[in-house]
Structure 1
Amino acid sequence: MITQTITPTTHDLGQFEVRRVLPSKARTMVGPFVFVDEFGPGQLDIGTGMDVRPHPHINLATVTWLFQGAIEHRDSLGTFSTIRPGTVNLMTAGRGIVHSERSPQDERAKGPMLYGMQTWLALPDGKEEIDPAFEAVRDLPLVEDKGAKAWVIMGDLWGESAATTTYADTIYAEILLGPGGSIPIEANADERAVLLVGGEASVDGAALGSFELAVLAPGAEMTLTSKDGARVMLLGGEAFATKRHVWWNFVSSDRERIKQAREDWREGRFPVVPGDAEEYIPLPEVPKTVSYP
């Protein structure tokens, strides 16, 4: 049973679109997921690329997952990692990190493809100010059954466990359904939702809307099916007892901590990104990403 449907806010960036379902006025979190963007599919012009200049985060972990294309990640820890389909990048901001995301040169030469997911996980109480960290995990479990393939990106699903670090109970998976394919959606999470990012699919006979977040009733096992084929993201985990606030790229249980982070970025107190220190995104007056009372 679908208990809530969230229509995305769509930002048209010219050659591709970004669709944001969390945070929204209707709901701020599903499990630890406090921010969920889907971008593309789209192809940029030859010689151009995606360039997200250095910017800061606190009290969260970012999770990048691609269906097509490639992104170069650099951060203030000195990390350099090229994200490609099949690899999950988990960047833990903790007490503070700065990173940039750009299209690789070889992608620019042919016209970069962009199609994937960018999500943020709120860090749980007592872990918000942990040390920043980064990991790229490639050997993820692949589950195949009844015309379905599913990659377990985080957590435990369908008897498999991903090696990706989790700070709170988390489930995250990409599901590919062939024509007539189906897969069970297990009930082992406080909160769960599915996001149709390609094709058509239904949960227990209820059709999913394209790019809409469908929040599922807790405690009931359901079945995801498709007549013609689909790509679906499954996400969720433990419900947070403490409210999280979001302002721009900052997430925290403490509004004062966000104010401090704003001031730190404005005054240049965050670390720089080695190899990408010439540019940065200024603190906005009115951010596009905010939480709601």
Structure 2
Amino acid sequence: MTNLEPRPQEQVCLTEPSGTTVQLIEPRAVPLGGPRAMTVRRTLPSKARSLVGPFCFLDHYGPDDIAASGGMDVAPHPHIGLQTVTWLFEGTVLHQDALGSVQTIRPGQLNLMTAGFGISHSEEGTLRRFPDQRRLHGVQLWTALPDTARHGSPAFEHVPEVPGLDVDGARVQVFLGSLGGVTSPARVFSPLVAAQLDVPAGAVVRLPVDREFEHAILVDAGDLTLAGERVEPGWLGYLGPGSDELLLEAGDRPVRAVLAGGAPFGEEILMWWNFVGRTHDEVVTARAQWQEDVAGVDGPGRLRFGGVPGYDGDPLSAPELPHVRLKPRSRP
């Protein structure tokens, strides 16, 4: 997925652990472009928090009637310095990228793309691609790659079935990292975890976690209390390091939620548009080289990101950079 805000704000992001008090992060609505655009709810990055472990971006969408919204149609766009993590609750999405990957994803499966030095990809969940599809519902997360990995070669992997476990009656599907003695086969570059949690109505779940990690829970549906704090659907509840377990209590409705966490990310990162870098000049160079790819002109960055030949349409052009050097925003 891409950030289609016409004036994306730069952010320098550092983890800021906040102990055992639950911090609530309200989502903001972001349209994915066009008059009938699918709208996503974004909780990371936000003014309240930039990172949870290495997770620097979280979009939550649906359930959308794609006959009304048009579904997901994200034209080829570039990334550097991150991994994109796609996880669905309902529907089907087609991923294509500059490596030649062509992969359909369905609920319970994982798509993981490692951008490294640079890659481009498209994502489609439309009636044109899937005539029988009616609803689309899921999340996409980005993880920031550490400096040791962010200049590496791009890669893509599809995990058709992720491991799971049961904890106090809740079903836990671990799609990244390790939790409760099970480990996802997907390749990651920082200590982290991501999982879908399905908690029955009325259940009290003590989920064992790594006390060195910070954690956040995005509630998709249902009535959830995290460590004594109510987390509304669509909101993110954050807890800093220091706990061996997360106390989850479901109310009168069953809960579906996504857990994301990891060791506090020790590197400062600069995010702008679809790029996760470190400096102003690095982002400026990546943007210029993507525009060379879009225009098909020869230049020093030609084909850094490559093309997506299977997509029927033009790639996205990068937004204009602000007329000042990208610099840190004030931190809360």
TM-score range, shorter chain: over 0.9
Moved over 6 A (4+): none
What SS is found at the alignment partner of 1:258?
Answer: helix
Contact 1:32 1:239 in 2 (8 A): yes
What SS is found at the alignment partner of 1:225?
Answer: strand
What SS is found at the alignment partner of 2:67?
Answer: coil
Deviation digits for residues 207-234 of structure 1 (CA, Å, limit 9, x no counterpart)? 1122111111311122112022111111
Query: In the alignment, which residue of structure 2 is the partner of 1:28?
Result: 50
2:175 corresponds to which of 133, 146, 153:
153
Which deviates more from structure 2 when the two are superposed, residues 6-15 or residues 127-136?
6-15
Contact 2:29 2:40 in 1 (8 A): yes
2:192 corresponds to which of 146, 165, 170:
170
Contact 1:23 1:35 in 2 (8 A): yes
> Given residue 233 of structure 1, which amino acid in structure 2 is its aligned partner?
V
> Given residue 238 of structure 2, which amino acid in structure 1 is its aligned partner?
V
Residue 186 (str. 1) matches residue 211 (str. 2): no
Deviation digits for residues 165-186 of structure 1 (CA, Å, limit 9, x no counterpart)? 1100111000011112233233
Normalising to structure 1: TM-score of the pair? 0.92
CA distance in 2, matches of 1:89, 1:181: 30
Deviation digits for residues 1-58 of structure 1 (CA, Å, limit 9, x no counterpart)? 4442111111256574310011112211100001011011111118944210000000
Deviation at 1:274, TM superposition (A): 2.7
Deviation at 1:104, TM superposition (A): 5.7
Question: RMSD of the TM alignment (CA)?
Answer: 2.2
Which deviates more from structure 2 when the two are superposed, residues 271-280 or residues 196-205?
271-280
1:226 corresponds to which of 238, 247, 250:
250
Normalising to structure 2: TM-score of the pair? 0.82
> Given residue 276 of structure 1, which amino acid in structure 2 is its aligned partner?
Y
Residue 10 (str. 1) matches residue 29 (str. 2): yes
Query: In the alignment, which residue of structure 2 is the partner of 1:131?
Result: 153
Query: In the alignment, which residue of structure 2 is the partner of 1:245?
Result: 270
Deviation at 1:278, TM superposition (A): 4.1
Contact 1:153 1:173 in 2 (8 A): yes
1:92 corresponds to which of 97, 114, 132:
114
Deviation digits for residues 107-155 of structure 1 (CA, Å, limit 9, x no counterpart)? 6423541110011000012111110000011221111233311100111
1:64 corresponds to which of 74, 80, 86:
86
Query: In the alignment, which residue of structure 1 is the partner of 2:329?
Result: 292
In structure 2, stretches of 5+ residues that fail to align are 1-19, 294-301
Contact 1:70 1:84 in 2 (8 A): yes
Mapping 1:200-211, distance limit 5 Å: 200-211=223-234
Mapping 1:44-59, distance limit 5 Å: 44-45=66-67, 48-59=70-81
CA distance in 2, matches of 1:183, 1:15: 37
CA distance in 2, matches of 1:246, 1:183: 35
Q: 1:236 to 1:47 in 2, by over 3 A?
A: closer
Contact 1:48 1:108 in 2 (8 A): no
Percent identity over the alignment is 39
CA distance in 1, matches of 2:289, 2:69: 35
Deviation at 1:197, TM superposition (A): 1.0
Q: 1:4 to 1:46 in 2, by over 3 A?
A: closer
Query: In the alignment, which residue of structure 2 is the partner of 1:282?
Result: 317
CA distance in 2, matches of 1:26, 1:282: 29
What SS is found at the alignment partner of 1:166?
Answer: coil
In structure 1, stretches of 5+ residues that fail to align are none
> Given residue 236 of structure 1, which amino acid in structure 2 is its aligned partner?
G
> Given residue 250 of structure 2, which amino acid in structure 1 is its aligned partner?
S
Contact 2:66 2:127 in 1 (8 A): no
> Given residue 10 of structure 1, which amino acid in structure 2 is its aligned partner?
A
> Given residue 4 of structure 1, which amino acid in structure 2 is its aligned partner?
Q
Q: 1:107 to 1:180 in 2, by over 3 A?
A: farther
Q: 1:110 to 1:48 in 2, by over 3 A?
A: farther
